[in-house]
Structure 1
Amino acid sequence: MPAEFLARTERRLFRRILRGFVLLIAFLAFGLSGFYSYQQLQLLKQYSNDFKDSYIDSQFVLLREHLQREVTIIRSELLQGTFDPAMTLERLRQHRIGPRLNGYFFALEVRSMRGGPDFARHLLLPIDPSQVGVPMDSSLLDKHGFAYREVYLQQLRETGTARVTYWYEKPDVERTISEKTTYLVLLPELDWIIGAGLYLDDIEEVIASHTHQQRQRLLASFVFSVLITAVFIVAALYFAWNYNLNLMSLLRSLRKQIQDREEKLVALNNSLQNRVDQAAVELERQYLVDALTGMGNRARLARDLAFVRSPRTFCLVDVDGFREINEIFGISSGDILLQELARRIQECCEGGVVYRFSGDNFVVLCPRVEDSALSRYLETLHDCLVDNSHTPPAIADVQFNVTVVGTNEASNPLGRLEMTMHHAKAQRRNTLCYSEEFNAVQRYRQNIAITQKIRQAIDEDSVFPVFQPICDLQSCEITKYECLMRIRHGDEVLSPGEFLSVAQRSKLYPRLVGIMLRKSFAAFANNHYMFSINLSYADIVNEDIRQSIMDLLTPHNAARVIFEILESEGIDNYGEVSRFIQQVKELGCKVAIDDFGSGYSNFEHIMKLQVDYIKLDGSLVHGLRDDPRNLHIVESIVFFAGKVGIHIVAEFVSEQELVEIVRRLGIAYAQGYAIGRPEPELLLQPPFECGNGSRPLGE
């Protein structure tokens, strides 16, 4: 009876498990299939939206680039005196743009920027040459009653560029009226307006075609997933049947095996606990003990310092020229020397505890030595450590010396020891005791000397600017310069890193900035180049400096001035800075964020300041060749800047290879030693010429 009952129970269990397994598989299969299809549908929608946005943006970016390139060519020809209106119009006539090549260039000869019945006449209209020379009325409306000519004339009057969307005839067979977006640029030197536009229905056709293809792929994917689901269910049923048969046979033997293994697990657990205890002791020893010397390591020192209660003397021992010993005698000899030195310190510092602090540095916690006797104690310790009478044969040829410093100060002893070691090395002392003078005296003397040099430079008119060129990577021409401050002191030329921090803490700083501003503006008074001036947050909020800037800005030079604001400096008062930026931009000046990527690199920071240029920090530019993370960061910055209409300048472009890399990334301008060094005179041409790619001159 018990056997029959057990058999019925097993069969009942078998059927329930099989039924539950089948239901579970079916639910998971169809659920996952449905979820997959839903996810794919959502991804398609998201992808289609993203593709639409990116494709539209890319088409208009290309449109602006085509237009800007043609404008740049015309202005370059005007500067070089090679401009030919007929050739230019013919080149524009033959140029077609857009996904269906329905876009075209047109040119207007401006008669009145204020509009009117004859405000301009067509110089070029490829889709209707008969309109060339015909008077144009600015009040003309498109089919929806939109006075698009008045709109773009207003934009051109305000900024020199315009964008307008309206309904206009397409250059196709049917001559249909379609919605069109046009970009225009005013060339005041010719009284021309150059424009180019795209028909939006051409773009929509490409997007619709792409979306249709993606939907077909989604349908095929869905059918395939249904087939896979069906195959999966059949396979799961077969597997479930065999699995349950095996499961029943296993259940009969599990009870005995569990009992046997439980006994073994108890014994194994006891054994493992013993091993874990032993391993914990060994790990603690390895964590706190230096493997080479057997002395306590840095972690052991930090732990022991936290529990020091009685007065102690702290010593630091450093091997002089240890790197050279490794290079000449080999690393193995260096290791033997460290082992021997650890042994000697242990012998010479009776009652002291020795720690290997870093590569060739040892810290010793010694019994308290009175301040009056500390200097003599350090000398005795030094003589004991360099005694070669018992040197091991393996390093008998190694002649070495050590520097020993000490302190009785219990507050931050390691910091005081390292400070003392720095002074001992600078003074070439074998031993030195810590003194409070190490903290301030030397810095004070250096600051006094630098302040005297600054004052002398101001009195002798030895403050002068140098100019580092900035190259336009599209035209391969130098179009801008950054003005950098220098001080001449005798035969020595000081850069800002040597004196600026001291100057900013003195009353001489506003005078330095004033001199720099006057000489920089004077250097560009009689040329057409743009030039940039570096300003800190403190400069902007300084009333005297701001007034000096406003006095120097004129209608003649304001449009060529760029103010660079250091990105890594915190800005406490956005209102004050924003007012300054608004004030200078109303005069025509531009604003740049300098060293972008060196500080907190906040895009919100850029948007608040409404900047025109971003200057990438050298740390990002140098890493473009071998650090994919830097490349991704710069690509994202270029993408962001393109979206919001900000130009990018790559700083510290020191080699020709970096010029090509930043050009391929779509960066507009480059600055660095590959372009030119900061010099008192303007460098007018970059050291390379442009073709399909840049190459150094002379090759």
Structure 2
Amino acid sequence: MIKDIFNLKAKEFYIGFLMVSIIIFGYIYSIMPTLEETFQKKLINLTVESIEDLSENVIDHILSFTGNEDLVDSIVKNRELLQKTEKLLAILITKHTKYVYIVFKKGKTYRYLVDGSREDKAIPGEIFEPLRSDIWDEVLETGKPRIIMQSGIDIIGFTYLKPIIQNNKVKAILAIDYSAKTIKEIKEIINTTKILIEGILVTSFVFLNIIIYGAIKNIYLRKKAYIDNLTKTYNRNYLEDMASLLNPASYHVALIDLDDFKKINDTYGHDVGDLVLKKIAETIKSSVRKDEDIVIRYGGEEFLVLIKAGRKDKKASINAAERLLRDIRNRKIDINGEEISVTASIGLNIYTERSHSIYDAIKKSDIALYQAKANGKNRIEIYSEKRADQSGYITIGEIQRFLEEKRFICHYQPIVDLHTNKTSHFEALVRFIDEDGNIIYPNKFIPVIENTFLYSRLTKSVIEYNRNILKKHKDLKISINLSPSDLFTDAIIKLLEEVAVQDKLSDRLILEIIENESITSYEKMQNALLRLKSFGYKIGIDDFGSGYSNFIYLITLDVDFLKIDANIIKSIHKDRISYIVTETINNFCKKTDIKTIAEYVENEDIYRMVKSLGIDYGQGYYFSRPVPLEEILKQE
């Protein structure tokens, strides 16, 4: 009897719980689109605030170049001033703001004045046809900034228009094209929540249906995660997950890059650009074998084609690449009655049997693609081992042998506290040693092994090498370099955990993350850095300002120090732009409690300059060249 009453109350409670759950989760589900839109608006506002501050500073410096002379006339007539302005605009270039330019209006026609973009640069005086001329006209008339939104699947994109006012008159407009994928955390949280709510709602009705539904949904999402939303080709998630299963000897690799694609976006807008990508993707898919070849959207306008082939199929793969080039060239795309076409450059690797991984094979295709671009575009270049050897790089086989035989050492360069002029710590810089005792420097082997298993193996070897040194010498403090790919390698994270937990060395081993284009997932990177910081490590960003810097994501990464790139520091004492960039970075770091290190302090002039700016630490030949450990120990 008691059991029956208990069961009855349990059923009533269960029914009530389900009804309340349905109402709550139904409400949450209904507001998901609004929640997503709110997150996106906040992201745009944060980005605009960051751009606003930097652009205002850049405009002030541009106007200081011209003084009281007319801005447009001065830049048009003075080539040196044009080049200075281009360099200054480059400050605004980030991972997501690739295109920055100044436009002026002459009569009824808009024309480029200065283009600070690093690729597909417009010629000064070239006609510029804005997509929304009414908004551009409004900026000229009112002197107030405006934003032109660009819509796209999974894309936040906009053009920020900032008037350049001289003598109370708008002389030109500074335009910054911003385009970035929606923050993954937002998408993942919202998608996961949607799926969870759907599951709960279905479970409320039939338990069996939720099992079936969950299984179908899981398969669907797994497939969706591998498909690029725009082009319906595979994406890089597919490549990352399948890389270990892809035997490079079974495929020939073609890397395709659409030529001058920026001009399409500038002329017709990002919507048309997306349409062109979609149509070209259809062309590529129709040109390859559906069940054998693999098409991957590798980058913005880059496609990767893995051509199923064997050692004897080289001619067939060359024919396939030629067919791809021809079909892309011949594809006519209708844009409101106007037919446009594009060309492509292709890097082809038909010697993949010599590659140790699919990434190694792709890297060689990328080298060939670079040659195709350099040789005039709209062509195919086939990777050649002989051409690669002429660069002076050592081979992958030699690198593998050096690692197996432990033929490497680290030299150490001091990092000096500029407030006390005392050494703070030493950066470990790896070198290989050949059979004759000659030292081989990183520029001869790092480019060869990037994105290969050997790079991770080298990183682990360097960690172990310095782990042993720190155990022996209790007063030493050392920093080592890690690439973003190292942060995503479980074996490296586990090794660093052992060094911290077992050896208690995390307070004397500093980690410098190399800041480059391979930072493709700030979410993963942030998670990895948070884990390392929980072990007690200090984290820094190396080579900041080398071309892909992003101040917004720098804040989210919560780093302890930032090392300003040598290419900026080396000219700080004789180039005003370098000085302004350094000053801007240093001021930003002061406000966010991030320590700064100046690389390439080569002489007293540079030393005095960085010290006067209040930079915290310096590194360079002015203090010491990288030296063997024995020399450091002698000095102590």
**TM tier relative to shorter chain:** 0.3 to 0.5
Greater C-alpha Rg: 1
TM-score under structure 1 length normalisation: 0.34
Normalised by the length of structure 2, the TM-score is: 0.38
Which of structures 1 and 2 has the larger relative contact order (alpha carbons within 8 angstroms, sep 6+)?
A: 2
